[in-house]
Structure 1
């Protein structure tokens, strides 16, 4: 099936930007099919497919291939495996990303490794429809993977999260990252219990950045930052998350590391309510970690990283110890690194404090991004010293 794209889309494709939007097409096309993209002048640009995914309507895949064959998929998986050779041999870490969608040459799905198991995340109906072809190629290149699960990240009630192939895992499964244990559940919902893209940030904490400090972990999820800080010598951690499951899950993460849970504080509470609670009880913290979802809603109140992150910074300054640290993280493709830093600085200037950005992190090596395609380079983390 040939699909004609606009002149703007042709330039975008030739620059290496793989996402296809509705505006890139010269007419409405049938979705969920493999296609050959053609310019207005009739030049064949390469292969891809059409399938709705977030803001896109398809992906450009290759200017060299003529179709999506298992041989080519094997080639992509072998290249991805070679990029991760260091991680595959790391005795201290066995949980990381094996294949990062468009960053590894095929937008629409990602694959994560948890010890000897894999989790496939399908982001649109087309990749789901050819998943058997993808899985055959994957198993040829990664025969060491004993079993796999799938997470369907698109809107189709008939496509359920399920065991995919091989052995059935026993959960919680305990995996290692930077020598720290984390309990994960590959058979529950979209999330497993740990966000693998934050490995390098947690590594800084494990290495002792917050040794001797009292740490507040906001939007804590399962408390992974809290555990990493504790392993690295933090005197106490406080974890705050609105989800009820966070209490049990955070306790479990401390327990699988043999750390005393009773020395930690865990609150199931809205983050902004906790700021009020802390101020009311005159609580202060040496370090505050802010890692909110890109968008969240609690009743009538909504939160957006792009619009509301400055409020988090301002509230944090009010309960931060003198010469404290804020670790500010944004997992959002809709805000640039420069704009995110600018929002942080605006909030800090508003609070009339001195500050120094002393470290920063982005996606780790197993999350390769596409050059010039900002949506694929979504993680921004800043380490900031505050003086007042």
Structure 2
């Protein structure tokens, strides 16, 4: 269960000091070309809240119960780090159903403090991305995957790339900027694929509709496999939990099956970049699932890299990233 805020009507003064301290610790990121990052992580707040920063705009995610007065106090403390506006996200343990029936309460479209800025461009390692801070619980990019996108940008040159669960196509942008031979972005939402095309345009990349494929990932992996299509790099970045026509997906139960399908479209000697953001799934268990998935596809698997979130996620263990080579 999420950590509960203190019953006091005022926030502990150490929280304001903590926010300022964390902000100072991240001051090198904008100088390195990254203006979108986690300014305060939950490991630093005892699970109470996290603060994302996109330029001068903040996005405050609450993982505990705060009173309206405490929310205002916390917003004011965040604003002291030089923000021009701050948006609020309330994140209950199981937000998937609530997001459909209480969307405006969970993710108010207007800022809790400062001027409304429906969209802005922020940088990640010098690459521009379109961020919409009041759009929804997800604002356009997942900052914890920054090291994984950097890995793709360093290795995708000349590759045929399939980016599954593409969302707004951050991995696709990274592959295209690396000089990939071709990139296919696949997602179940036309809206986020269109958003991805906007991200391509920000970097001056061609974004033909044929490179942005709408549909269920599991269905498409099966279809591509039957066609004999092959990719040198397949990127898997699924949600921890999702519902579709095919049923319920749970990463802690189904990731092996996903890897088996991905292997069917991965060229001999090709790579799979597998991400899992389920905090409750142990790294060793994730590794076993990947090995089992490769074995079901009759492929030999070797792990060439293991990593997680970036420096702005101190102590984070939720994200597990594996670079896999399939013989």
After superposition, the C-alpha distances for 1:324-345 in whole angstroms (9 at most, x for unaligned) are: 0000110101211110011101
After superposition, the Cα gap between the structure-2 partners of 1:127 and 1:107, relative to the gap in structure 1 and judged at 3 Å, is farther
SS of 1:191's partner is coil
* Structure number, greater radius of gyration: 1
**Structure with larger RCO (C-alpha < 8 A, sep 6+):** 2
CA distance in 2, matches of 1:113, 1:82: 13
Aligned residue for 2:268?
322
Structure 1 residues 105 and 355: alpha-carbon distance in aligned structure 2, compared to 1, 3 A threshold: same
Q: By how many angstroms is 1:286 displaced?
A: 0.7
Distance (Å, rounded) in 1 between the aligned partners of 2:186 and 2:310: 26
Stretches of structure 2 lacking an aligned partner (at least 5 in a row)? 93-97
Q: Which residue of 2 aligns with 1:268?
A: 214
Equivalent runs, 1:72-111 vs 2, <5 Å = 72-90=14-32, 92-101=33-42, 103-111=43-51
Q: Does 1:69 align with 2:12?
A: yes
**In the TM superposition, what is the alpha-carbon distance from 1:219 to its structure 2 partner?**
0.6
Q: In the alignment, which residue of structure 2 is the partner of 1:114?
A: 54
Tell whether 2:127 aligns with 1:180: yes
Q: Structure 1-normalised TM-score?
A: 0.76
Aligned counterpart, 2:114 = 166
Aligned length, in residue pairs: 317
Call closer, same or farther: CA 1:104–1:126 in 2, change over 3 Å: same
Using the TM superposition, give the Cα deviation of residue 32 of structure 1 relative to its aligned residue in structure 2, in angstroms: 6.5
SS at match of 2:76: helix
1:308 to 254, 275, 282: 254
Partner of 2:172: 226
More helix by share: 2
Quote the residue 1:379 is aligned against. Answer: 319
Structure 1 gaps of 5+ residues are 1-17, 21-30, 36-48, 50-66, 370-375
Secondary structure of the residue that 2:233 maps to in structure 1? strand
**Pairwise CA RMSD of aligned residues?**
2.3
Q: Which residue of 1 aligns with 2:306?
A: 360
SS at match of 1:307: helix
Contact 2:186 2:214 in 1 (8 A): yes
How much does 1:79 deviate? 2.2
Q: Do the aligned partners of 1:236 and 1:263 also contact (CA within 8 Å) in 2?
A: no
